[in-house]
Amino acid sequence: MDPKAGGGGEEDDCVDSGAETGGSDYSHLSSTSSELSVEEAQDPFLVSIHIIADPGESQPLQEAIDKVLAWIHPDLPLFRVSERRACRRRRKPLKGAQPALAVVLFLQEEYGEEQILQLHRTLQQPPWRHHHTERVHGRFLPYLPCSQDFFTLAPGTPLWAIRPVHYGKEIVRFTVYCRYDNYADSLRFYELILRRSPSQKKVDFCIFPIFSNLDVDIQFSLKRLPCDQSPVPTDSSVLEFRVRDIGELVPLLPNPCSPISEGRWQTEDHDGNKILLQVLGGCLSVCLGDQRNQLALPQTQ
């Protein structure tokens, strides 16, 4: 945690966010795999999120995200906010609807409760708004009260939560909530996209290690929803993955995949979440090198 960083909700029987895995032995695993190139294995930006805001709203949303991420690392550009051309008319979300995408930040307990509570207060200020308070199997989780809350920035954007890390490193975890019947297919889909297997795998939850250094882990996870719950795609947010060999990948995907710009392709997972595939090429490798310099990450040969 970087200590320099500085709406009304409801209680829901929402599924466990996987908070119990924070600080587990899996947080020490590296994302390196023998099947991956050195550059892929050391890419902290293999997974990112692109948020589309209404006109005039991108700057405050980007600043709010950057301020929260600064608690993990002051230069961690995992989120990019851009603007659509015109405001969209939105339908009122159903009560108890479960957004399909969440971001969970695991912060070191050794910094003290006050530091975590300070970040929690930041998430209670506009443009952040409280979404729901988490209960698992009808009970509240045995952590700090603030670690049961979920927040959001705007309609159609991911949920955000903070959790204490009992030991190990601080973690940025992207979580996709999957329909019960689609969980196994979703697991195979993201294994194909990420070109790696999960480091931790349960019947209803798995974690893919994306990047690991001495200070922070970046993870991607899937969470299976109960039979009576369905994830709602975040229509103003898109997961973006850096990939190679797009020609080999496209025929293996379950849904149509088409180019939307030079170096970018779009497809969907089994639950209808839009996915951007960024083809890693020469100019992107240069950008990756620049970002590694900002993070003081190891350079590839």
H-type helices in the chain, by residue range?
38-41, 58-69, 113-122, 183-194, 246-249, 282-295
What's the whole-model pTM score? 0.80
Domain residue extents for the chain: 47-84+97-279
pLDDT tens-digit readout, 140-198: 445 555 667 899 999 999 999 998 887 788 999 999 999 999 999 999 999 999 999 99
- Residue 2's pLDDT band, with cuts at 50, 70 and 90, is very low
- Residue 207's pLDDT band, with cuts at 50, 70 and 90, is very high
pLDDT cut 90: percent of the chain above it: 53
The dihedrals phi and psi of 221, each to the nearest 5 degrees, come to -135, 160
Q: How far apart are the first and last CA of the chain?
A: 30
Note the pLDDT of residue 274: 96
Of residues 49 and 20, which shows the higher confidence score?
Answer: 49
- Average pLDDT for residues 11-35, to the nearest whole number? 40
Structural class in CATH, domain 47-84+97-279: alpha beta
pLDDT tens-digit readout, 172-181: 999 999 999 9
- Average pLDDT for residues 250-262, to the nearest whole number? 95
Note the pLDDT of residue 19: 43
Which residue(s) pair with 207 in the sheet? Answer: 200, 221
- Residue 109's pLDDT band, with cuts at 50, 70 and 90, is confident
CA atoms of 188 and 108, how far apart (whole Å): 32
Q: Which of 72-86, 89-103, 264-278 comes out lowest in average pLDDT?
A: 89-103
pLDDT exceeds 60 at position 293:
no
The dihedrals phi and psi of 269, each to the nearest 5 degrees, come to -85, -170
175: its two tokens: 């979580």
Query: Which segment, 114-123, 174-183, 272-281, is predicted with the most confidence on average?
Result: 174-183
